[in-house]
């Protein structure tokens, strides 16, 4: 994943920062980014990467999920983002390649039986919830394919 955490809610960061009476500069120094980056996160102009989400959670002593809009029916990518993990970190935990994690998240490759348990543990969910998230990812991929085929008619 090259972009930021897709469901990050910048106003939650701003609220936490204001409650903590911290400046954007202080948050920037604690997370290793510029003050303007923190302001862009807060405004929603830019989404933080998973490693920065993890740093924010540590700064404010809250779970990373507190910064993310959650759904009752997450995709594989959303499960990973809730935990503030990168694809590389998940790959290392599950014993698979980063490209395999990307394919699983896109819905184009189902997780192997060996990887399912490690992935579920990494995301803090049961295997059944992991399977449901993968199905949603696969359904999104299929829907995108239908939309492209329909547009090309």
- Read off the pLDDT of each residue in 71-88 and give the average, rounded to a whole number: 91
| Tokens standing for residue 7 | 């469901």
| Tokens standing for residue 67 | 């910064």
- Read off the pLDDT of each residue in 26-32 and give the average, rounded to a whole number: 97
**Beta bridge partners of residue 68, listed in sequence order:** 8
Which pLDDT value is given to residue 19? 94
Question: Which domains are delineated in the chain?
Answer: 10-67 (1.10.260.40), 76-151 (1.10.260.40)
Show Cβ contacts of residue 139 under 8 Å, excluding neighbours closer than 6 positions.
Answer: 107
- Read off the pLDDT of each residue in 92-109 and give the average, rounded to a whole number: 95
Instruction: Name the nearest CA neighbour of 50 among 16, 117, 2.
Output: 2
- Read off the pLDDT of each residue in 63-74 and give the average, rounded to a whole number: 88
Count of alpha carbons within 13 angstroms of residue 95, beta-carbon side: 9
Which pLDDT value is given to residue 71? 81
pLDDT digits (tens, 9 = 90+) for 112-122: 999 999 999 99
């Amino acid at each position: 994943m090259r972009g930021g955490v897709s469901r990050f809610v910048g106003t939650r960061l701003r609220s936490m920062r204001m409650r903590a009476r911290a400046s954007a500069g202080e948050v920037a120094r604690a997370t290793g980014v510029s003050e303007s980056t923190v302001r862009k996160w807060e405004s929603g102009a830019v989404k933080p990467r998973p490693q920065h989400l993890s740093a924010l959670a540590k700064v404010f002593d809250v779970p990373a999920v507190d910064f993310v809009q959650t759904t009752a029916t997450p995709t594989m990518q959303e499960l990973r983002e809730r935990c503030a993990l990168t694809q590389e970190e998940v790959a290392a935990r599950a014993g698979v390649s980063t490209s395999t994690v990307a394919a699983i998240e896109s819905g184009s490759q189902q997780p192997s039986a060996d990887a399912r348990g490690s992935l579920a543990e990494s995301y803090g969910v049961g295997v059944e919830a992991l399977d449901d998230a993968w199905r949603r990812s696969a359904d999104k991929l299929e829907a995108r394919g239908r939309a492209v085929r329909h547009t090309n008619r």
